[in-house]
Each structure stands twice: as C-alpha cells, then as structure tokens.
C-alpha cells in the first residue's frame, strides 16, 4: 500500500500549494492513504475548523497537529469529536483537566477497501512544552491499536531536536511502518529504510512560502536575531511550495518498502 504525507501546512499559501499539487500527485503516486500535518494551517497559528474540514473534504484520510493544536479555541471542540484528526498523545491527563482529542486513530482506506492503517502522533520534549515521555506513550498507543488487529502504523513525531527524532526512529525500528518527523518546517535529506523495515525521515518539511523563515516573513526573523527583541512573527507572502513524502508499505507485514521525498515550488504568489 502507498501513503502520501504532506509536511506542516503553513497558512493560506500552504493550503493553496497543497490544493494545487494534489490532483497531479494523486495521479502520480496513487496513494491508498492521504495524510497531512495541519497544526499551522490557519494563518500560521493552529487550525481553524473550516480549514480542517476543507482538507477532509479534499479526501484526506487523517490529519495530524502538534504543539499549536491549541492556538485556535474554536478548533478544540472539533478535537473532542473528530476521529480522523489527532493531536500528540503524550499531553498528560489529569482528573480535573481532561485533554480533548485523541493521540492515535485507525483509518480505513476509502480508495482500496480492506486496507487499514494506524496513525499515531507524539510530541518531543527537547525545546518543547512539558509533556509525558514520547517513548513510553508510543508503546501504550501501539499496544492499544494492535488489539484492533492493526499491522501497519505511521508515526508523526512532532519534535525539535534531530537527535530525539532519530532516537525514536531507532526505538520504533521494526515495530512501525514509518516514523516521520514534523515541526521544524525544513525538509531533511536523510530518508531511508531502517534495517528492521521502518521508513524514517527527520523532517518532512513544510507546505508554504518558500522565500521565508519557516513560513514567516524573513525580515521579522532577521530583525529578531539581530536585536534580541521579541519581534512578532507574521506569515510570509509569496510563492508557495510543498514538501511531502510517499511511502510504500507491505500491508501483510507492515514493513516499509520505500520512502521518497517530494519537494516542489510554484510560480504563483498566494497572499494570506
């Protein structure tokens, strides 16, 4: 089976870039499952319900988020009821404060009946908000999904540090079909199949304005570093592009067969 996964979609330029590229990439890759990370899909500050629904209506089977899942208050009730939108599983629950949403889900292919995929997301702890251990959390989530008879698992590891991402990749080697890094918005060139049959990449990258600093206006970022002042980030305007990966997985064993990076830039400017 094939899986097409888009990296962090950033603002309107990212949404428009995905929409522009999707018909052709669907024809070229013929995926059984279509997934995207949408934590920055609305103005670069979390998801709004209408933008999440837009992607579901486009045919996305599952949507992952990240540490910005909480930035848009109207989205939180959606998390509580959605079955195809997940947030990091390792946000700690408390008897007084229930975390909305789910950290994993099982999706059935709408394109190839009979194919099923478990999707899990965990958040890193290095340079990130204080959360439960992603390694122990993913053990728990896999055990839960295995009881549903799932053989193939895709993990979105939303983390900052490449060392933490690589460590989780090796920890999961042979136990999941793929560990895909998100959050950094810069695509890495280290895609590979670990010897135990797990596809891995440190960061899938970003869908958004190419001439930017991780999706934001580059001038603001440069000023912030030069002056040390908390200059506000603003979504960049300009030419959009997409970063994605396409995976091939043996559905009988859950082992990855191949992983290929996709990096495209378009000529039309999209404004936020």
What digits encode the pLDDT tens for the residues 11-57? 999 999 999 999 999 999 999 999 999 999 999 999 999 999 999 99
pLDDT of residue 269: 59
pLDDT of residue 96: 87
Residue 156, classed as helix, strand or coil, is strand
Q: Answer yes or no: is pLDDT of 210 > 70.
A: yes
Question: Distance between CA atoms of 93 and 20, rounded to whole angstroms?
Answer: 39
Indicate which residues carry an active-site annotation: 68
Average pLDDT score, the chain: 95
Q: What's the whole-number mean pLDDT along residues 144-167?
A: 97
Confidence of residue 271 (pLDDT cuts 50, 70, 90): low
Q: Answer yes or no: is pLDDT of 61 > 60.
A: yes
Question: Distance between CA atoms of 208 and 235, rounded to whole angstroms?
Answer: 9
**The domain over range 2-266 is classified in CATH as 3.60.21.10:** yes
φ, ψ for residue 49, nearest 5 deg: -55, -40
pLDDT of residue 239: 87
pLDDT of residue 95: 86
Q: Report the percent of the chain where pLDDT is more than 90.
A: 93
The residues spanned by each domain of the chain are 2-266
Q: Answer yes or no: is pLDDT of 174 > 70.
A: yes
pTM (two decimals): 0.96
pLDDT of residue 170: 98
Q: What's the whole-number mean pLDDT along residues 246-254?
A: 97
b/e string for 55-91 if b means 16 or more Cβ within 10 A? beeeebbbbbbbbbbbbbeebbebbeebebbbbbbbb
């Amino acid at each position: 089976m094939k899986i097409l996964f888009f990296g962090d979609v950033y603002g309107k330029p990212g949404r428009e870039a995905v929409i522009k590229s999707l018909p052709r990439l669907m024809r070229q890759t013929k995926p059984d499952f279509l997934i995207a990370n949408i934590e920055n899909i609305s103005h670069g500050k979390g998801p709004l319900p209408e933008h999440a629904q837009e992607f579901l209506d486009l045919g996305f089977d599952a949507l992952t988020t990240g540490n910005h899942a909480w930035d848009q208050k109207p989205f939180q009730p959606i998390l509580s009821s959605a079955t195809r939108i997940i947030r990091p599983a390792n946000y700690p629950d408390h008897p007084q404060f229930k975390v909305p949403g789910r950290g994993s889900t099982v999706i059935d292919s709408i394109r190839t009946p009979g194919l099923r995929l478990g999707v899990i997301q965990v958040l890193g702890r290095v340079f990130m908000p204080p959360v439960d251990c992603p390694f122990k959390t993913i053990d728990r989530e896999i055990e839960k999904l295995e009881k549903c008879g799932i053989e193939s698992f895709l993990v979105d590891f939303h983390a900052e540090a490449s060392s933490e991402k690589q460590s989780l990749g090796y920890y999961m080697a042979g136990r999941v079909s793929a560990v895909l890094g998100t959050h950094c918005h810069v695509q890495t060139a280290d895609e590979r199949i670990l010897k135990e049959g797990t596809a891995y990449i440190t960061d899938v990258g970003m869908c958004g304005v190419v001439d930017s600093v991780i999706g934001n206006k580059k001038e603001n970022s440069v000023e912030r570093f030069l002056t040390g002042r908390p200059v506000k980030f603003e979504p960049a305007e300009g030419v959009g592009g997409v970063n994605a990966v396409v995976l091939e997985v043996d559905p009988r064993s859950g082992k990855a067969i191949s992983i290929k990076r996709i990096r495209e830039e378009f000529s039309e400017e999209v404004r936020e």
